[in-house]
Structure 1
Amino acid sequence: MTLIQLRVFLAAARLGSFTAAAVAMHMAQPSVSELIRRIEETYGARLFVRGGRRLVLTAAGETLLPLAEQTVAGADEADRSLRSLTSLSGGTASFGLLRNAKYYALEALVARFHALHPDVRLRIVGLNSVEVAAAVASGELEAGLVVLPVDDDGLHVTPLVHDEVLYASIDPAAVAEPVTIQALAERQLVLYDAHYGWRDPTRRQIADRARLAAVRVDPLVEVEQVESALALVAAGVGDTFVSRAVAEAQVHGGPIRFVPFAEPLHDTIALVRRRQTAMSAATVELIRLARSMLEDVGGGAGVLRGPAAEGDPVAGNGRWSVPEDVPAL
Structure 2
Amino acid sequence: MRDSHPTDHLDRSLRSFLRIAQLGSVSKAAEDLGLSQSSLSKQLSALEQSLGQTLFIRTGRGVSLNDAGELLRQAIEPAYSRIDSAIHAVRQEHGIHSGTVRLATVHTLSYYFMSDVAAAFMSTHPGVNLSLLGRSSPEVVALVESGKADVGFVYDSAVDCGGLISHSLFDDHMCRISARHEAVPSTDLRHQDLRLIGFPPHYALRRMIHSSGLHPEFVAEVETIDAMLRLVASGLGDCILPSRIPDTLLHEHQLHKYPIELPSLQRRVVAILRADRDPQALTSRLLECALRIAQSV
State TM-score, norm by structure 1: 0.57
Q: Percent of pairs identical after alignment? A: 22
Alignment-derived partner of residue 156 in structure 2:
148
Aligned to 2:294, the other structure's residue is in SS state helix
Cα separation, partners in 2 of 1:140 and 1:258, compared to 1, 3 Å: same
CA offsets per residue over residues 252-303 of structure 1, 9 Å max, x none?
522524131412211321111112421111101011112223334x2xxxxx
Structure 2 counterpart of 1:177, from 180, 186, 200: 186
Asked whether the equivalents of residues 155 and 272 of structure 1 are also in contact (C-alpha less than 8 Å), the reply is yes
Equivalent of 2:91, from 84, 87, 94?
Answer: 84
Question: Which residue number corresponds to residue 203 of structure 1?
Answer: 206
* 8 A Cα contact 1:96 1:144, kept in partner: yes
**Structure 2 stretches of 5 or more lacking a match?**
11-45, 51-85
Q: Tell me whether 1:246 sits opposite 2:257 in the alignment.
A: no
How many residues align? The count is: 225
The Cα shift of 1:227 comes to 2.5
Which structure has the bigger radius of gyration? 1
1:85 CA drift (Å): 4.3
Partner of 2:195: 188
245-254 vs 166-175, which deviates more? 166-175
Match of residue 99, structure 1, among 83, 97, 107: 107
Does the 8 Å CA contact 1:233/1:256 hold for their aligned counterparts? no
**Does the 8 Å contact 1:84/1:90 carry over to 2?**
no
- Bigger Cα displacement from structure 2, 251-260 vs 218-227: 251-260
- Sort the Cα spacing of 1:159 and 1:232 in 2 relative to 1 into closer, same or farther, 3 A: same
* Range with bigger deviation, 125-134 or 170-179: 170-179
Does the CA contact (< 8 Å) of 2:165 and 2:273 recur in 1?
yes
Provide the TM-score with structure 2 as the length reference.
Answer: 0.63
Structure with the higher fraction of residues in strand conformation: 2
CA change 1:128–1:82 in 2 (3 A) is farther
Secondary structure of 1:272's partner?
strand
- The structural deviation recorded for 1:144 is 1.4
The 8 Å contact of residues 96 and 143 in structure 1, kept in 2 or not, is answered as yes
Q: How does 1:1-329 map to 2 (within 5 A)?
A: 5-6=7-8, 83-85=90-92, 88-153=96-161, 154-171=163-180, 176-183=185-192, 186-191=193-198, 193=199, 197-210=200-213, 216-246=215-245, 248-251=247-250, 252-296=252-296, 298=297
After superposition, the C-alpha distances for 1:37-90 in whole angstroms (9 at most, x for unaligned) are x99x96xxxxxxxxxxxxxxxxxxxxxxxxxxxxxxxxxxxx978843465244
> Cα gap change, 1:90/1:82 in structure 2, threshold over 3 Å: closer, same or farther?
farther
1:174–1:98: structure 2 CA closer, same or farther, 3 Å change rule? farther
Q: 1:270 to 1:220 in 2, by over 3 A?
A: same
1:250 aligned counterpart, secondary structure:
helix
SS at match of 1:198: coil
Displacement of 1:120 in angstroms is 3.9
Q: Which residue of 1 aligns with 2:25?
A: none
Letter of the structure 2 residue corresponding to residue 6 of structure 1: D
Counterpart AA for 1:290: A
CA displacement, residues 89-109 of structure 1 (integer Å, 9 cap, x when unaligned): 444423222212332242354
Partners of 2:220 and 2:8 lie apart in 1 by 68
Q: Residue 101 of structure 2 aligns to a residue in which SS? A: strand
- Pick which of 112-121 and 122-131 moved more: 112-121
Q: Distance in 1 between matches of 2:197 and 2:183?
A: 14
Does the 8 A contact of 2:107 with 2:225 survive in 1?
no
Structure 1 gap ranges (5+): 9-37, 43-78, 299-329
Q: 1:93 to 1:263 in 2, by over 3 A?
A: same
